[in-house]
A and B are shown apart, each in its own frame.
Chain A
């Protein structure tokens, strides 16, 4: 805590234990997430085909594409919620090994926001935010509450702290989910279609919070259909189709002059 009672806004270093997994290659801490030759199958369905993607620390990358293109699967691989069959994923330079303990350590540094919010319905907003602070990071109650209040203010709903998720609107729930992830002071935030299950009038309040985060320099990997967000906040747009990355470009290039025919087709439908 600093003098005015707010938690320090300091980004934690990558845990040492994570980086030690790779003595052969010195860990590249400037790359938050790196997928190399990533392949995944669901049974006989080839969901991800030779994916190569690097998310440099401090960058904001938007992944878009038609449904079934593998974009959600890719982002879920990035914190070990999905296993994969070929290739590697490095988080902060450390390769994911599938080891449960390593995964737990890595997940502390990777925040995730889900399409369905996935707040814990039996816990208040405050308890949703403080749970992992207390149980995973071992913070005291007062310290955890201080951090939670800070991030609830950041997503503009400190007054809802005592409520249960079911008492909140969808937009409010998603903002709580963002605050819950931010409480862990992650090095990167993963967003898996964060506005797709929201009523249209609630999309903006969530996007505003995300744009704020981006402006603050948070590293973000975001699956979304919100092209406006991509234009405003992303420094790279990745277009996926049928398990492959079709095109990667800056938003300006991506929207004005995409190089691939498939991208043009998608954009025509998206932007009408």
Chain B
């Protein structure tokens, strides 16, 4: 096999890598927003419960979570498709990190922003949606791009729960061709080809935000 053939062979797994990333985002983004905001707004027991959920997803090893949800749950008759397990585990792990970015972004805002909005008689939910979140999310955009790159790279682990992603294809080819050097070098390159454009996009977003302070003249 030529290097090009190896590369094409690896990219046969691209569809799975892309699918897990996209589905993972569907878990990650809502989780990060909902739990980040909830942790910011709540106190006492409620906050403790929310923090516990976040920490479960954030502080567990992704590979172990994959094994638990794919191989252990069937013991109690819960059989989830591999792609669901992969997207959920990777997505919620990334979402756990993302939620901390959301919370930190909200906490970093000047207290005066909340006070000025409250002094105008705005209800709490409007203050959050119109004043706090737009400013916090702007600050958090670079972190979110980082999380997205982490998520893409993290999908390499799904090859361990039977999914034919790029890493799985590479292992297959490496075994049949006895060419680990060529294959795994190509695999490295394959992830770089996907992640680098995202990095460039992230830099563009950052500059755009840094370039102009304001975001909207509407709401």
Contact = CB atoms under 8 A, between A and B. Distances in A.
A124 interface: yes
A120 interface: yes
A135 B119 contact: no
Interface residues of A, number: 36
Nearest to B212: A164
A48 interface: no
A98 to B, nearest CB: 14
A166 B213 CA distance: 7
B65 to A, nearest CB: 37
Contacts of A100: 124
B123 A104 contact: yes
Contacts of B120: 107-108, 131-132, 136, 180-181, 184
B113 A136 contact: no
Contacts of A167: 213
A119 interface: yes
Of B120, B124, B131, B219, most buried by chain A (CB within 10 Å of CB) is B120
A42 B102 CA distance: 29
Nearest to A137: B121
A241 to B, nearest CB: 25
Contacts of A108: 120-121
A136 B130 CA distance: 12
B126 interface: yes
A122 B122 contact: no
Nearest to B116: A118
Interface in A172-212: 177, 180-181, 184
B8 interface: no
Interface of B: 110, 112-113, 115-124, 126, 130-131, 134-135, 138, 212-219
